[in-house]
Structure 1
Amino acid sequence: MTVYECPECRIQSPVSALTWCCPKCRGPWDLAFTSAPVPLASLGSRVNSLWRYAEALPSLPYGPEVSLGEGRTPLVRLATSATAPDTGSNTGSDPGTGSVAAKLDFLMPTLSFKDRGAVMLAAHARALGPRTVLADSSGNAGTAIAAYGARAGLDCVVYVPEGTSPKKLEQIRAHGARIVEVPGDREATARAAREAAGEPGVFYASHVYNPYFLHGTKTYVYELWEELGGRLPETIVVPVGNGTLLLGAALAVEELYGHGLIGTRPALVAVQAEAVSPLAEAFHAGAEDLTEPAAARPTLAEGIAIPAPPRARQILRAVRATGGTFLTVTEEQIRSAQKDLARRGLFVEATGVACWAAVSAAPPRPGLTVVPLCGAGAKTGLAP
């Protein structure tokens, strides 16, 4: 039976409960769930959404009804030279040694990769029938929860920090969700949301605390595996704030490896903005966890500016387990990367270009490297 489980205390709770965190340590839940092997040969005839990987997903009765066709985003090869042309399109062939490909995860119903996890949370919430669904976000996760909550017929409220992009606020309101703007930074918003999440009848659709979200984001890697004909790239680079895409990727890698569907694990490389990089600092210091929050300094990559991610220990462990590392990028590198991608035909928001900025500045890694382009530039505009 699928249950919530605390990765630190090993306390369990039924997934039918509205308890959003471990009652002992107040940390986020994992999901005690065992996937089955996904048969690669049968995927061609399956539904064109993340639900095609049904064997790998927790059973959710309302999944297909809540789906908006999320997932199955293109994998496009990128040239590493700023002046070289794009070298291909979404193809399963190996682009070659030292090459880079981008997965266009901004081509989603709400224009960000957060749809992968939001559809799982909405399907689960619909089964529970709460009075209200509550989320907190710097914008993209809140938009995704609002959209899929509307699809599921749920009442939603989204907590956001003051100064959130007006375009993202417009998206959230358009889906019928109520917005609570919280004075202060992203951490202040999370604290306010967690306090409200304890009220009766509230389902906390947290992309950080609820593990159903991670089981949605892991489909990013299942798609890479399918696209590349049953293998994975040598390196998977992901932006990390709260680590939801990285931890989903780590889940998928372990499942595929455990089922014998890949022979080796790719390196997971995490990218943070230099301005707010607590995990990168902890990793390079050899620490297993954060000792104190980072200073909340301004950065263009607002979506990954998380001073104290609740899953820090898990993120650091996951990167080390694959022989990966942490990279950081400056504000000028983010600006340059956004303009560079736009000149290649890809307009991506500042947070979403962090991985391309890091890969462009770092020495080439052997084999194929894949970076995600996570959010559309239309959400925020060009970085100043």
Structure 2
Amino acid sequence: MTHAIPGYVCPDDGTRADVRTAPWCCPVCGGPWDLDFAPDPASSLDPASGPNSLWRFGSALPLPGAFSVTMSEGNTPLLPLGERIHAKLDFLMPTLSFKDRGAVMLAEVARRLGPERVVADSSGNAGTAVAAHCARAGLSCEVFVPEGTSARKTGRMRAHGAAVRVVPGGREAAAAAARAEADLPGVFYASHVYNPYFLHGTKTFAYEVWEELGGRLPEVLVLPVGNGTLLLGAALAAQELARRGVRPPALFAVQAEAVSPLAAAFAAGAEDAGPAEQRPTLAEGIAIPAPPRARQILAAVRKSGGTFLTVSEEALAAAHRDLAGRGLFVEPTAAACWAAVGPAAPSDPLQGRTAVLPLCGAGLPAPTAA
């Protein structure tokens, strides 16, 4: 029996498209797609009876029928960091970052569509996650990376069998090169920003929090935001769970002071964000000067009653050391939320509320001699 794959819809102009024939972005406005899908709130949601992976939330996911691509992604533990704050250890994923949540969805979609090859653009974790899951699905994969991407990161992609194309210039140049390939026949663009299936993978973060907290969500979810894929996934889950009677959390979005276009737009009351200067920061993973989904991110935070917080480089470094001292060695970007709401934060932004924050990516130790 074949099952229909939900199609795309543009959140700005309502354009609809079939996943099998759609371009990688809305042909009218050029913006990212959303998915023409909403789970039935009356459907059974019994994750305990499902597999030990994010597919345990199958009734809330947009891919009907049996799945085949998995490395037991998801189901990561919650760890108390204080009286009111829990950390969700998403760095314990198969490729060591939360990007596995979205990558497994993209790989399953691609497997069903059967393209000649899959292309992606990334400067690190997303490329590794897509490469690994394409390998699992038996798909040919090519990852476009900006020049200067570390050999350790590109080596991990190649280890999974992906072809790595180094593009002169920065992150946007790599994205432009991948998108040029995405317009060719037989290519599936596994974009963690433009393809909404990725967001329906990341929403399982919040579904798991709901499960782990006994059928409720915390008062606040504190989330690092660059392209906003984790925050928008969490917002999706909160909306879907609200239809089941679950009280939604406020969304606190965290950016590095060095590159914070969304925080600046939020403070100015703007509906969209202008481009920011690309400056160096320890939080490389969220240093996105012009997020394509800026309007959606800002709207989601406002709708939730949340806010934006920014953190200095000094605070990032201190939070990174503090987490390591607690036994949690994560990448610097993953320390941003702890810097924003942890004990060293300059104020108490949570104001006594309960919160969950993700530790999104593992720290990689320096190589040692044999």
TM range (shorter): over 0.9
Deviation sequence 1:244-267 (CA, Å, 0-9, x none): 00000000000000122x0x2210
Aligned residues with identical type, % of pairs = 65
Residue of structure 2 equivalent to 1:87? none
CA–CA distance in structure 1, aligned partners of residues 241 and 220 of structure 2? 15
Measured after TM superposition, the shift of residue 234 of structure 1 is: 0.4
Deviation sequence 1:115-172 (CA, Å, 0-9, x none): 0000000000011111110001120000000000000010101111222233221211
Residue of structure 1 equivalent to 2:285? 303
Q: Is the 8 A contact 1:214 1:248 kept in 2?
A: yes
Q: Is the 8 A contact 1:118 1:216 kept in 2?
A: yes
* Equivalent residues in 2 for 1:277-356, closer than 5 Å: 277-290=260-273, 292-356=274-338
Residue 90 of structure 2 aligns to a residue whose secondary structure is coil
Q: Answer yes or no: is 1:155 the counterpart of 2:137.
A: no
Q: Is the 8 A contact 1:109 1:115 kept in 2?
A: yes
Measured after TM superposition, the shift of residue 380 of structure 1 is: 7.8
Residue of structure 1 equivalent to 2:30? 26
* Equivalent residues in 2 for 1:214-253, closer than 5 Å: 214-253=199-238
CA–CA distance in structure 2, aligned partners of residues 112 and 318 of structure 1? 23
Deviation sequence 1:308-331 (CA, Å, 0-9, x none): 111000000000000100111111
Deviation sequence 1:359-381 (CA, Å, 0-9, x none): 12141513211110000001789
Amino acid at match of 1:320: R
30-39 or 134-143: bigger deviation: 30-39
Q: Answer yes or no: is 1:36 the counterpart of 2:40.
A: yes
The TM-score with structure 2 as length reference comes to 0.93
* Equivalent residues in 2 for 1:1-384, closer than 5 Å: 2-37=6-41, 39=44, 42-61=46-65, 63=67, 65-79=68-82, 99-260=84-245, 262=246, 264-290=247-273, 292-360=274-342, 361=345, 362-365=347-350, 366-378=352-364
CA–CA distance in structure 1, aligned partners of residues 239 and 366 of structure 2? 35
Residue 190 of structure 1 aligns to a residue whose secondary structure is helix
- Structure-2 change in CA distance of 1:4 and 1:354 (3 Å): same
Q: Supply the RMSD in Å over aligned alpha carbons.
A: 1.5
The TM-score with structure 1 as length reference comes to 0.90
The structure whose RCO (Cα within 8 Å, separation 6+) is larger is 1
Residue 66 of structure 1 aligns to a residue whose secondary structure is coil
User: How many residues get paired?
Assistant: 358
Q: Is the 8 A contact 1:76 1:104 kept in 2?
A: yes
Amino acid at match of 1:55: S
The runs of 5 or more residues in structure 2 that have no matched partner are none
CA–CA distance in structure 2, aligned partners of residues 267 and 324 of structure 1? 5
CA–CA distance in structure 2, aligned partners of residues 202 and 341 of structure 1? 41
323-332 or 217-226: bigger deviation: 323-332
- Structure-2 change in CA distance of 1:380 and 1:155 (3 Å): farther
